[in-house]
Amino acid sequence: MFFASDNAGPAHPKVLDAMVAANDGYAMGYGADAIMDRVRDKIRKVFEAPEAAVYLVATGTAANSILLATMAQPWQTIFCSPMAHIHEDECNAPEFYSGAKLTLVPAVNAKMTPDALRQSIEGEETRGVHGPQRGPISITQVTEKGTVHTLDEIKALTSVAKDYGLQSHLDGARFTNAMVSLGCTAAEMTWKAGIDAVSFGGTKNGLLGVEACVIFDSKTAWEFELRRKRGGHLFSKHRYLSAQMDAYLTDDLWTQMAANANARCAQLADGLRRMDHVTLQYEPDANMIFFRMPRAQHARVLSGGATYYVMDGDHTAGDPDELLTGRLLTDWSMSKTVIDDFLALMVG
Amino acid sequence: MFFASDNAGPAHPKVLDAMVAANDGYAMGYGADAIMDRVRDKIRKVFEAPEAAVYLVATGTAANSILLATMAQPWQTIFCSPMAHIHEDECNAPEFYSGAKLTLVPAVNAKMTPDALRQSIEGEETRGVHGPQRGPISITQVTEKGTVHTLDEIKALTSVAKDYGLQSHLDGARFTNAMVSLGCTAAEMTWKAGIDAVSFGGTKNGLLGVEACVIFDSKTAWEFELRRKRGGHLFSKHRYLSAQMDAYLTDDLWTQMAANANARCAQLADGLRRMDHVTLQYEPDANMIFFRMPRAQHARVLSGGATYYVMDGDHTAGDPDELLTGRLLTDWSMSKTVIDDFLALMVG
Amino acid sequence: MFFASDNAGPAHPKVLDAMVAANDGYAMGYGADAIMDRVRDKIRKVFEAPEAAVYLVATGTAANSILLATMAQPWQTIFCSPMAHIHEDECNAPEFYSGAKLTLVPAVNAKMTPDALRQSIEGEETRGVHGPQRGPISITQVTEKGTVHTLDEIKALTSVAKDYGLQSHLDGARFTNAMVSLGCTAAEMTWKAGIDAVSFGGTKNGLLGVEACVIFDSKTAWEFELRRKRGGHLFSKHRYLSAQMDAYLTDDLWTQMAANANARCAQLADGLRRMDHVTLQYEPDANMIFFRMPRAQHARVLSGGATYYVMDGDHTAGDPDELLTGRLLTDWSMSKTVIDDFLALMVG
Amino acid sequence: MFFASDNAGPAHPKVLDAMVAANDGYAMGYGADAIMDRVRDKIRKVFEAPEAAVYLVATGTAANSILLATMAQPWQTIFCSPMAHIHEDECNAPEFYSGAKLTLVPAVNAKMTPDALRQSIEGEETRGVHGPQRGPISITQVTEKGTVHTLDEIKALTSVAKDYGLQSHLDGARFTNAMVSLGCTAAEMTWKAGIDAVSFGGTKNGLLGVEACVIFDSKTAWEFELRRKRGGHLFSKHRYLSAQMDAYLTDDLWTQMAANANARCAQLADGLRRMDHVTLQYEPDANMIFFRMPRAQHARVLSGGATYYVMDGDHTAGDPDELLTGRLLTDWSMSKTVIDDFLALMVG
């Protein structure tokens, strides 16, 4: 019963099979492998973007930071939610790569609102050369609170950005969970909704460590390649990244894995909603749940065999009745039974 | 007959087996996996350094750049050979991470000489605050020309560094090839020879993509961790890096693989030395050969089924008698037969 | 009637006289001039800090950014008010020099509150290596809204910082205006109140362009010198900076100039408070006033010969009754008569 | 008898007069002062470049670094002489601002040769994404050894740059000394010779501290402004920079000052050439002389009242007959008599 993170689970066996299959003889390095040609085609097809620039890196922080560095200038500011991963969980990497700073836009349910975005954008550049200049916006989809922007919500944000001539980035570390949740296509959730570049995550959804960077207008492709190399993120034995992504996009493996993660999350949410001592904090649109419960209950469940993070305090010491927030992540590999077992444990 | 690079060959099957074995259930991310505990112990043992800080990253550029950033200040200069990988092949990554610049120290056989190093160091910091300040030295072992520093040569260089209170870094992308070539231990080639931190490469020697960063005085360990994260080089599913390194250090796999690569290189060099139309440029101490041969011969061999780089010109056009330089790399997976076949092709 | 900025007024004639006097014969450059020795002594005396490191630069942005770079690491965050000059008006310079990011601490009257500071600090570093680490705090004194932190308020903030082992920086672009307002000494407003380093401004108070950087624990002095040079902020003909600061600290010129600016501001505030159509937004503790007034009144006054900034809208177009915010700065050179004239114009 | 540096002498009284004259009433800050409008016009006229972008900063390091940052990308390398000020005397500032590295092109008489430049350019970018990409060239005029590039020499270098689509920067810290030496116009020495942007120095030629940055194709003007602000180099009380440059360009003051410095240098060189114990190292084309002389002679002269730098050793200890290099700088304020006195002292 491990709900601490969707990057703590195993990779899908088919992904490892593909890596083993790729481990045959010699292959050109640095992205010139034949599998990468196939991957590029598949991603362009999935995104209905035959001209898109497509690159692989191994971590989400690298994907976000290098993409943002191609979209922002060092004297600009990037607009994002206060809960954005690029703000809270990347130890200044986006700033390191881009030189830009981040402007935190007030959010509801971890989503920037269009009005707040407009107001934040208006607030910058009122000082001529003195203040940071307006740079791109970055939308986290799934949000760090487990909510999913609807297509209309994405469009509303990118539309505000376009009003000011700004580009839009999508941090899609949980891209497929969101896409499955919305029942839409990859194209609909990105360029058709005004997104210019996307971190298309695989690591949290069954890969070992691969994220694709997709730039719809490929004019910054060469810059991306140089920034990737300069950041130390160009893999010599690139075929092992390619192979993962290749398996991911074969026979709908990517959507099936996300669908299972989301279904298990829904099953979990259903169970939790029925418990009097539990309150859900956000609408769990994808594979992440935040819930409130008395400290004593957390202590009981966590010592009873479950693993998850309590976000706002020590569950082992303090007022037993104080409400603390727990975070639960489901992943592709989780079975119905595990959820049932956990719910049974939660009931007590 | 693929001699273009030692990162173009396959990974060792045992390494992939270890990754498959690691793919079981849940594991804490970001280096907190149980396999990493084992790897840390093994590396400390191998290096006879029970207090060393040990970290894994996925690329050699990351290993070098993050280590150098913990060793150099942004107003300093790093002393290295003009052929150093950190100068020629990392697209400004060491400068990006450290802020420091590089001072190119004249080299013989791609190795800085102690006298030239001393003179270069003396040349800096004669200008007070105006010029860059003296920073660490970086030694590439195996060099980018295939030569190997003897232990005395390493000591002579680190000893000059110590005279000025400077630290010494070893870029060991082909660490094991050098170690096997010298018949020494990992400790002898590093801290016993005055090295403070080492990029202990695995990718070029049978792994998919793992380099260990070993810092003998672990006081910058926490800084390294933050710089790694800030560079986007901390892996969430870290166990798959750990598993590779774990297999690498099991049952002498690392030294066996390097030994084979070196033996094939020696076999190749022996053969080439017997050919009148071929001249070796450097002493091939490890698994890399630079050789001179008329353009027409290169053209014949390359069209005959061999793959390698011609470094200084187009082999398909120009004076057929002009001597051009070819570069040959051998790897762990190469058989005696392939070498024999290639030599046969070379003879014509 | 020019109230747009305290950096738009003239320099004090004595300052120019000192520059002319310094313009005699040869002087060693780069801070080795004899006048700088005198300046260093004077500043150490004024700050009662005989060991302090003292440096001059020509702009406030340089002073803040270089000091903060010596106090913060690239993986840290600097805590400041959302209205801080380092956040709003330096076009990412503090981030550029330090690599750190800024955390905006909720403020009342443009001053961070100790509780909000504590909460912000607590909010960081809950994520181990993933989030930015806690760095120094920076207090703007006078604030960008014209309020002045009392000594107790400064102590309360630096005390919170010390609870977490963090350093405290004071952005004293209007240092002397605050000091005069508080009736305290320079030592009391800085190290005696827990400040570790201060940007001691002169430009806004009668100099042409000089700010002193004072570091009470001088162990980062050499680093400061290198960062200053690396930023291009070391002046070859340094004596002309020294001469300005020398005149500034002679015969209480600095405090007299600030006293006049503050007195004119008080005179102005008194007058404005008596006007029904005017509301002061903040307590004008030093030499800056923010006031609300109908658009039509701004238009009348601004076309009547006064110059100042309307902060939140276009005074020439829109609802004549809408309240807009004006900002007024007084400086050392302003006469009582000018204030009277302006107040007369304001009455209409 | 002070020959240590041309930035150790006084500023021209007319320059200070202009600053005093500018010190009247209120003026818009940050370059919006009326004097700057006049300066911009004058510089455009002097350079015969009515569309050029013109900015002022206070140090040569700032001028070079900010200009180069607008010309180079962080993954590029800048080609310059090994003696270039940007390499030896700016403590990594050009790298800090641009992110690029420097490639040292072999030089004769401190001037890159066109062949060596071509070879250096050819040497880069043979490694695709792995190595740094080709960036701009930077020519130091006057060189750091006192030689002056002829117009043909500048053209030959910029012509090589253009062959590769690269831009050309001129570090003109001693611009006017070179121009007077060549008897050419500012336009002839810059854009007519293929220069794209120039650091037009004033500090070493009679100003207190002002350098103009002139960009002939003004499309990066806004970027320059933001980089200047982000570097902390935008002056609030900008009029005092403007006033200096305004006086500089009035009634040929700039060329007269450089002409005197050059004439004094010629007088000095003539005298030295006649001395048996003295050898000139380079052709002193402008206002700088490097000469060789026995240690004992240096000791005698330096203790006899002269001040200059001995570049390559301690003149107070060692073999009295060893030849050491002295460096002599002349400036606008030097009289014939001082030169005569120094020559008399040198004779002994």
Give B93 to chain A, closest Cα distance, Å. Answer: 4
Give the pLDDT band of residue A162 (cuts 50, 70, 90).
very high
pLDDT at B319 over 90: yes
How big is the CA angle at A324 (ends A271 and A149), to the nearest 5 degrees? 60
pLDDT at A126 over 80: no
A29/B10 Cα distance (integer angstroms):
11
Q: Which of D332, D27, D80 is nearest to D204 (CA)?
A: D332
The pLDDT value given to residue C123: 86
Chain A residues within an 8 Å CB radius of B28: 4, 8
Q: Within a 13 Å sphere around the CA of C69, how many CA atoms are in the beta-carbon half? A: 30
Under an 8 A CB cutoff, do C93 and D231 touch? yes
Q: Please name the residue of chain C whose CA is at the shortest distance from the CA of residue A134.
A: C91
Under an 8 A CB cutoff, do A75 and D129 touch? no
State mean pLDDT over C283-312.
96
Chain A residues within an 8 Å CB radius of B21: none
The pLDDT value given to residue A138: 98
pLDDT at A151 over 80: yes
B142, B288 contact by CB (below 8 A): yes
Q: Within a 13 Å sphere around the CA of D277, how many CA atoms are in the beta-carbon half? A: 17
The pLDDT value given to residue A169: 98
D37/B182 Cα distance (integer angstroms):
70
Partner residue opposite B231 with nearest CB, options A4, A7, A231: A231
D259/D253 Cα distance (integer angstroms):
10
Q: Which of A57, A125, A140, A63 is nearest to A94 (CA)?
A: A63
Q: Which of A265, A89, A246 is nearest to A177 (CA)?
A: A265
Residue C2 neighbours by CB distance under 10 Å: 20
Question: Taking CB atoms and an 8 Å cut-off, how many pairs form between chains C and D?
Answer: 146
DSSP state of C6: T
pLDDT at C327 over 80: yes
Under an 8 A CB cutoff, do A232 and B59 touch? yes
How big is the CA angle at B75 (ends B70 and B81), to the nearest 5 degrees? 70
Token readout for B143 is 């060099």
Token readout for A140 is 């986290």
Give the pLDDT band of residue C125 (cuts 50, 70, 90).
low
Chain C interface, Cβ < 8 Å to A: 74-75, 77, 88-92, 95-96, 99-102, 104, 127, 129-133
pLDDT at A348 over 90: no
User: Which residue of A57, A70, A226 to mutate against D (max D Cβ within 10 Å)?
Assistant: A226
Predicted ipTM of the assembly: 0.97
On average, the pLDDT of chain A sits at: 97
* Alpha-carbon distances, residue B277 vs B283, B309, B346 (angstroms): 17, 18, 10
Bridge partners of B213, per DSSP, are: B55, B199
Chain B residues within an 8 Å CB radius of D74: 92, 96
A215/A54 Cα distance (integer angstroms):
7
Touching C (3+ Cβ pairs <8 A), the chains are A, B, D
User: Which residue of B64, B236, B241, B244 to mutate against A (max A Cβ within 10 Å)?
Assistant: B236
User: Which residue of A65, A129, A235 to mutate against D (max D Cβ within 10 Å)?
Assistant: A129
The pLDDT value given to residue D72: 98
The pLDDT value given to residue C260: 98
Name residue, tokens 């190119």. Answer: B104
D343/A346 Cα distance (integer angstroms):
96
Token readout for D181 is 């030496």
* Alpha-carbon distances, residue D149 vs A80, D6, D203 (angstroms): 51, 20, 21
Token readout for A274 is 């029925």
The SS3 of residue B133 is: strand
A74, A133 contact by CB (below 8 A): no
Q: Please name the residue of chain C whose CA is at the shortest distance from the CA of residue B125.
A: C226
- Domains of chain D (ranges, CATH numbers): 13-251 (3.40.640.10), 254-347 (3.90.1150.10)
Touching A (3+ Cβ pairs <8 A), the chains are B, C, D
Q: Which helix (H) or strand (E) holds D293?
A: strand D288-294
Q: Within a 13 Å sphere around the CA of A178, how many CA atoms are in the beta-carbon half? A: 30
The pLDDT value given to residue B124: 73
Percent of all residues in chain B with a pLDDT value above 70, rounded to a whole number: 100
Total count of residues recorded for chain C: 348
The string of DSSP codes covering A225-272 is HHHHHHTT---TTTHHHHHHHHHHTSTTHHHHHHHHHHHHHHHHHHHH
Under an 8 A CB cutoff, do A231 and B27 touch? no
Under an 8 A CB cutoff, do A226 and D133 touch? yes
Under an 8 A CB cutoff, do B101 and D88 touch? no
Under an 8 A CB cutoff, do C101 and A101 touch? yes
Chain C residues within an 8 Å CB radius of B129: 30, 225-226, 228-229, 234
Specify the amino acid at residue D104.
L
The pLDDT value given to residue B148: 98
Q: Which of C171, C339, C331 is nearest to C257 (CA)?
A: C331
C172/C67 Cα distance (integer angstroms):
12
A138/A173 Cα distance (integer angstroms):
12
Bridge partners of C16, per DSSP, are: none
The pLDDT value given to residue D124: 73
Chain D residues within an 8 Å CB radius of B89: 127, 130-131
On average, the pLDDT of chain B sits at: 97
The SS3 of residue C189 is: helix
Residues lower than pLDDT 70 in chain D: 125
Q: Please name the residue of chain A whose CA is at the shortest distance from the CA of residue B99.
A: A96
The pLDDT value given to residue A318: 92
The pLDDT value given to residue A125: 66
Give the pLDDT band of residue A123 (cuts 50, 70, 90).
confident
pLDDT, tens digit (0-9, with 9 covering 90-100), for A58-80? 999 999 999 999 999 999 999 99
Chain A residues within an 8 Å CB radius of D234: 129
How big is the CA angle at C325 (ends C320 and C331), to the nearest 5 degrees? 130
Give the pLDDT band of residue B125 (cuts 50, 70, 90).
low
pLDDT at B208 over 70: yes
Quote the radius of gyration of chain C (alpha carbons, Å): 21
Q: Which of C130, C81, C72 is nearest to C103 (CA)?
A: C81
User: Which residue of A91, A205, A335 to mutate against B (max B Cβ within 10 Å)?
Assistant: A91
Total count of residues recorded for chain B: 348
Contacts 24+ apart (CB under 8 A), B94-97: B94/B64, B94/B65, B94/B68, B94/B69, B95/D95, B95/D99, B95/D101, B96/A230, B96/A231, B96/B65, B96/D74, B96/D99, B97/A232, B97/B65, B97/B66, B97/B68, B97/B69, B97/B227, B97/B231
Please report which residue ranges of D138-290 form alpha helices under DSSP H: 151-163, 175-182, 186-189, 221-230, 239-248, 253-273
Token readout for D218 is 């003004």
Give C101 to chain A, closest Cα distance, Å. Answer: 7
A49/A51 Cα distance (integer angstroms):
6
C9, C334 contact by CB (below 8 A): yes
D169/A271 Cα distance (integer angstroms):
68
Chain B residues within an 8 Å CB radius of C72: none
Q: Is the peptide bond before D142 cis (omega within 30 degrees of 0)?
A: yes
User: Which residue of C230, C239, C308, C333 to mutate against D (max D Cβ within 10 Å)?
Assistant: C230
pLDDT, tens digit (0-9, with 9 covering 90-100), for C132-184? 999 999 999 999 999 999 999 999 999 999 999 999 999 999 999 999 999 99
Burial class (CB in 10 A: 0-12, 13-18, 19+), B325: middle
Token readout for B72 is 């150099």
In sequence order, what are the residues at sequence separation of 6 or more whose Cβ sits closer than 8 angstroms to the Cβ of residue A37? none
How big is the CA angle at D151 (ends D149 and D152), to the nearest 5 degrees? 95
Give B194 to chain C, closest Cα distance, Å. Answer: 27
Under an 8 A CB cutoff, do B75 and C229 touch? yes
Chain D residues within an 8 Å CB radius of A73: 223, 226
State mean pLDDT over B286-301.
97
| Residue spans of beta strands (DSSP E) within chain A | 53-57, 76-80, 101-104, 107-108, 111-112, 133-140, 168-172, 197-201, 211-215, 279-280, 288-294, 309-310, 323-329
The pLDDT value given to residue A10: 96
Give the pLDDT band of residue A127 (cuts 50, 70, 90).
confident
Bridge partners of C307, per DSSP, are: C2
Under an 8 A CB cutoff, do C129 and B227 touch? no
The pLDDT value given to residue D123: 86
